[in-house]
């Protein structure tokens, strides 16, 4: 497990733009890079099209995973938005944290002009916050 996750500012800006574009639905996707540094992101359609839950489209999720592998990158995290909620895991997020090795990055859009982001490891129902560093 990483002690912190570093995200390139350009990548973070692009992720936020994606989440704003699908608002008021929850947006989601994958984050990849090397050595704890996120350098690539992959938008994945929320097949639920919901403002309170997400489920990654399986085919798009697989495509994103294969693209990261082809680029020689490691998958580091999953991101999604909370359009009207705080940047902390919901009970559903905790129950559906299927990738314990990935940082769960949650972007709150409660104040759309000032997105707020936090990251967590969620393992067996236990939530541990991790530092996110925008570089």
Mean pLDDT of 10-35: 98
Q: Kindly name the residue from 8, 26, 69, 70 that is annotated as catalytic.
A: 26
pLDDT at residue 107, rounded to an integer: 98
Using an 8 Å Cβ cutoff, are 77 and 103 in contact? yes
Is 26 an active-site residue? yes
Closest CA to 134 of 10, 16, 3, 18: 10
Across the chain, what does the average pLDDT equal?
97
Per-residue pLDDT tens for 32-69? Answer: 999 999 999 999 999 999 999 999 999 999 999 999 99
Q: Is the pLDDT of residue 7 over 90?
A: yes
- Please give the C-alpha separations between residue 35 and each of 53, 99, 109, in angstroms, as whole numbers: 30, 18, 28
Average pLDDT rounded to a whole number, residues 94-110: 96
Domains parsed from the chain with CATH numbers: 4-134 (3.40.140.10)
Q: Which candidate, 77, 2, 5, places its Cα nearest to that of 37?
A: 5
Neighbouring CB atoms inside 10 A of 24's CB total 12
CB atoms within 10 A of CB 100: 12
pTM of the complete model: 0.96
pLDDT at 125 over 90: yes
Q: In the numeric block, which tokens belong to residue 63?
A: 């495509």
What is residue 1's predicted lDDT score, i.e. its pLDDT?
Answer: 86
The residues near 89 (Cβ < 8 Å, ≥ 6 apart) are 97, 104, 106, 120, 122, 127
Q: Is the dihedral of CA 55, 75, 127, 43 positive or negative?
A: negative
Strands 126-134 and 116-123 come out as: antiparallel
Mean pLDDT for 9-13 is 97
Q: So what's the pLDDT on residue 23?
A: 98
């Amino acid at each position: 497990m990483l002690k912190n996750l570093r995200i390139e500012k350009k990548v973070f800006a692009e992720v936020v733009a994606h989440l704003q574009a699908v608002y008021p639905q929850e947006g989601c996707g994958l984050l990849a890079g090397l050595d704890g540094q996120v350098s690539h992101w992959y938008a994945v359609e929320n097949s639920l099209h919901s403002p309170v839950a997400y489920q990654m489209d399986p085919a798009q999720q697989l495509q994103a995973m294969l693209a990261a592998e082809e680029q020689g990158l490691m998958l580091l995290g999953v991101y999604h938005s909370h359009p009207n909620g705080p940047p902390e895991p919901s009970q559903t997020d905790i129950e559906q944290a299927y990738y314990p090795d990935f940082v769960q990055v949650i972007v709150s859009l409660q104040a759309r002009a000032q997105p707020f982001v936090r990251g967590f490891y969620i393992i067996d129902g236990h939530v541990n916050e991790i530092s996110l560093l925008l570089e």
